[in-house]
C-alpha cells in the first residue's frame, strides 16, 4: 500500500496503527482486534490525566488496568509468571507471583512515583470486593508496574490518586484497546519520540485447537540513535545530535496474555521471549532501563479456596513439544515488537512539563524502512 505526501499529512493528524501504513511484523496472523483483548475475557481500562497546571508545570500521566478475566480475580486466580530483563524498576507483587505462580488482582500500570497510590487504590477495590481479605483469609498480592514519565509529566506532583486505580479497573472493557497517549502511556517517550500504550496479538493452530498470544506494552525506552525500523533499517545520522538532551534510560512494561493452557513454568519461558521482540526495535536494556515482563494464561482458574475434599487440582497443560513451544516463542516476539510499534504509531506529539516537546514519530520514516 502506497501513500502520497498529502495522505501522510492526514495520517499524522489522525494517528493510525502500523498495519494501517501497509507494514506488518512477522508471519503469524493477528486476532480480530490485533490486541491483548483477543484473548477471551481479557479487558483493558485507562484513566488519562492531562492538564496544564502552571506555565511550566503539566500533568501528563495516568493509570492503565489489565484484567485477566471479568470475574472476581481474588477468588478465581489465573496462572502467571514474570521475567526481569533489566531490574531498574519499582514493580510491586512480582516476588510472590514468581514464588506461587498465580495472579489474583488486576495488573496496574502507572508512573514511577505513583505506584504507592495505585497500589492503595487497587487494594481498596479488592477489599470492597472480598470482605474476607485480611480477616478470615490472608492478604492480597497486587501487581503494579511503572515507567518514569518525568520528562513530560510533573511526576513530583503525585497527581495520580488511589481513586484513579479504581476508575481504571472499573472502566476496563474487551474489544478495541485505546493506544498511544492514554492511561499510563500519557507522558511516556520511546526511542526519541512519543511513546505510550501499544498492543498486538498472534493466533496459530496447535493440533486441533487455535491459541492466541496477546501483548500490551507501556513503552518508555531508548533514543533515536537506537531505533531499528521495521525491516531492519536505521535512522540516518543527523546534525545536530538529536539526542543531545540527556534523559533517563527509560523502561518498558510488557504484559503477555494467552488462552493456551500453559503452566506457570511454561509462562516463564514465554515471558523470557518478550526480550527478542523488544530488542528488534532497538533496545539493548540500558543500565537505567527497567524492563519487566508479566505473563498469564486464562485457560485455568485456580480457586482461592478449593473444595474441602479436593486434595489435588486437575489441570492439563500444553505438551512440551519443541515445535509447539517454539511457535509460541515466535508469536510472542512478533506480538511484542508490533505492540511497541503501535505504541509509537498511535502516540501524538505532546507538550509537557517545562514546555518540553516529544514529537510523534513521522510515518514517512517508517515507510522509508520498508523492505
Residue 114 C-alpha cell reads as: 505513583
Instruction: Tell me which of 174, 251, 297, 343 is the catalytic residue.
Output: 251
Pairing of strands 107-111, 143-147: parallel
Instruction: Tell me which of 105, 289, 297, 343 is the catalytic residue.
Output: 289
Backbone angles phi, psi at 95, to 5 degrees: -65, -50
| Catalytic residue check, 279 | no
| Catalytic residue check, 289 | yes
- Angle among Cα 156, 162, 166 to the nearest 5 degrees reads 135
Cis ω on the peptide bond leading into residue 123 (within 30° of 0)? Answer: no
Instruction: Identify which of 55, 77, 81, 59 has the alpha carbon closest to the alpha carbon of residue 67.
Output: 77
Instruction: Tell me which of 149, 154, 226, 291 is the catalytic residue.
Output: 291
Instruction: Identify which of 350, 354, 305 has the alpha carbon closest to the alpha carbon of residue 57.
Output: 354
Beta strands in the chain (DSSP E): 43-54, 57-67, 76-87, 102-103, 107-111, 143-147, 189-190, 193-194, 196-206, 209-221, 250-258, 290-303, 350-351, 357-358
- CB distance 144 to 344 below 8 Å: no
| Catalytic residue check, 251 | yes
| Residues labelled catalytic | 251, 289, 291
Amino acid at each position: 500500500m502506497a501513500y502520497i505526501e498529502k495522505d501522510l499529512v492526514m495520517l499524522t493528524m489522525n494517528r493510525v496503527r502500523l498495519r494501517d501504513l501497509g507494514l506488518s511484523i512477522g508471519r503469524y496472523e493477528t486476532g480480530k482486534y490485533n490486541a491483548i483483548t483477543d484473548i477471551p475475557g481479557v479487558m483493558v481500562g485507562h484513566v488519562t490525566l492531562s492538564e496544564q497546571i502552571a506555565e511550566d508545570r503539566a500533568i501528563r500521566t495516568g493509570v492503565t488496568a489489565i484484567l485477566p478475566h471479568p470475574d472476581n480475580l481474588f477468588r478465581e486466580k489465573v496462572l502467571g509468571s514474570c521475567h526481569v530483563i533489566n531490574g531498574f524498576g519499582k514493580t510491586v507483587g512480582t516476588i510472590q507471583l514468581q514464588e506461587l505462580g498465580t495472579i489474583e488482582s488486576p495488573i496496574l500500570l502507572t508512573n514511577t512515583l505513583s505506584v504507592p497510590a495505585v497500589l492503595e487504590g487497587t487494594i481498596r477495590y479488592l477489599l470492597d470486593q472480598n470482605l474476607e481479605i485480611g480477616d478470615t483469609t490472608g492478604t492480597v498480592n497486587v501487581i503494579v508496574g511503572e515507567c518514569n514519565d518525568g520528562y513530560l509529566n510533573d511526576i513530583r506532583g503525585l497527581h495520580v490518586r488511589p481513586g484513579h486505580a479504581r476508575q481504571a479497573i472499573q472502566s476496563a472493557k474487551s474489544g478495541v484497546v485505546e493506544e498511544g497517549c492514554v492511561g499510563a502511556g500519557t507522558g511516556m517517550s520511546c526511542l526519541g519520540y512519543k511513546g505510550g500504550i501499544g498492543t498486538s496479538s498472534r493466533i496459530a493452530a496447535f493440533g486441533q485447537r487455535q491459541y492466541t498470544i496477546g501483548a500490551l506494552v507501556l513503552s518508555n525506552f531508548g533514543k533515536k540513535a537506537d531505533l531499528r525500523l521495521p525491516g531492519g533499517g536505521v535512522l540516518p545520522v543527523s546534525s545536530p545530535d538529536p539526542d543531545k538532551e540527556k534523559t533517563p534510560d527509560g523502561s518498558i512494561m510488557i504484559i503477555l496474555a494467552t488462552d493456551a493452557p500453559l503452566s506457570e513454568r511454561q509462562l516463564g519461558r514465554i515471558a523470557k521471549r518478550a526480550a527478542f521482540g523488544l530488542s528488534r526495535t532497538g533496545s539493548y536494556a540500558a543500565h537505567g532501563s527497567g524492563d519487566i515482563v508479566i505473563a498469564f494464561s486464562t485457560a485455568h482458574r485456580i480457586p482461592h479456596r478449593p473444595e474441602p475434599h479436593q486434595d489435588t487440582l486437575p489441570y492439563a497443560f500444553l505438551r512440551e513439544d519443541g515445535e509447539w513451544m517454539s511457535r509460541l516463542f515466535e508469536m510472542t516476539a512478533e506480538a511484542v515488537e508490533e505492540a511497541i510499534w503501535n505504541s509509537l504509531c498511535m502516540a501524538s506529539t505532546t507538550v509537557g512539563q517545562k514546555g518540553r516537546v516529544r514529537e510523534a514519530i513521522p510515518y514517512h520514516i517508517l515507510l522509508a524502512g520498508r523492505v
